[in-house]
Amino acid sequence: MSSITNLFRTCPVTGLKVDKNAENLIKVNAVMAVVFLLLASLQRWVYC
């Protein structure tokens, strides 16, 4: 039972269980989206 509780955390606001692996993947995707948006805007200014 303890291995199942290690995979999830409980949201303090909603009380729902959140998968830690999914939460980490969402964070990585958000960071990568910002990085690519910054790179795209830089490319626009450099090549125009």
pLDDT digits (tens, 9 = 90+) for 12-34: 999 999 999 999 999 999 999 99
**Coil/strand/helix, residue 19:** strand
What are the boundaries of each domain within the chain? 20-48
Res. 43 pLDDT band, cuts 50 70 90:
confident
pTM tops 0.75: no
Res. 46 pLDDT band, cuts 50 70 90:
confident
- What does the mean pLDDT of the chain come to? 88
Q: Alpha-carbon dihedral of residues 25, 37, 39, 44, nearest 10 degrees?
A: 160
More confident residue, 9 or 4: 9
